[in-house]
Amino acid sequence: MAGYFEKQRFELCALHALNNLFQKQEFTRQELDDVCRNLDPDSFLNAHKSWIPGFGNYDYNVIAVALKSRGYSLNWFDSRRDPSEICTGDDALLGLIANISSNLKIGPVEIPFARRHWVAIRDLKGMETGYYLLDSKLPEPKFIGNKNDLVEFLREWMLDGDKQVMFVLKDDDDISQSSS
């Protein structure tokens, strides 16, 4: 397997989703913890992450601020719309981040206790060209296919209604500055 891929540790799926999306260690746990402290500086138990030190479990706000620090924005995809409307041909699109329901696993045993989990989807060059599901709970990236395959994957994937999909887009200011 070519490409960068982080596997699940603790409750750091948001960190893994971000790094898998950027295809390198772009963010650290310390950096995301700092974002949490900046978002909620006066609280003992931070509302944007796990109360267990070092475990992560970061929320949407942490991901949005982290992406903003790199010149990207996080935009909700309205699940009532058809996935074919996704701007996958847009140069500004880095990929997708999704928050899904996932059962808790302790070693090889899966416990039917639903938790929230962050994953990334993006077009990877250098591997079998196409879109991949970059889920840190999987042993390796899952090949989805071309743009049409991605649309079909998202249509089926979002049927249960328990998935929140977001676009990761390069900020307009950064696009206009780089094209000047």
What amino acid positions are annotated as catalytic residues? 13, 117, 135
State the CB neighbour count (10 A cutoff) for residue 110.
Answer: 11
Alpha-carbon gap, residue 34 to 71, rounded angstroms: 18
List the one residue out of 99, 158, 101, 148 whose CA is nearest residue 123: 148
Non-local CB neighbours of 36 within 8 Å, separated by 6+ positions: 46, 48, 49, 58, 62
Instruction: Give, in degrees to the nearest 5, the angle at Cα 12 between 46 and 31.
Output: 60
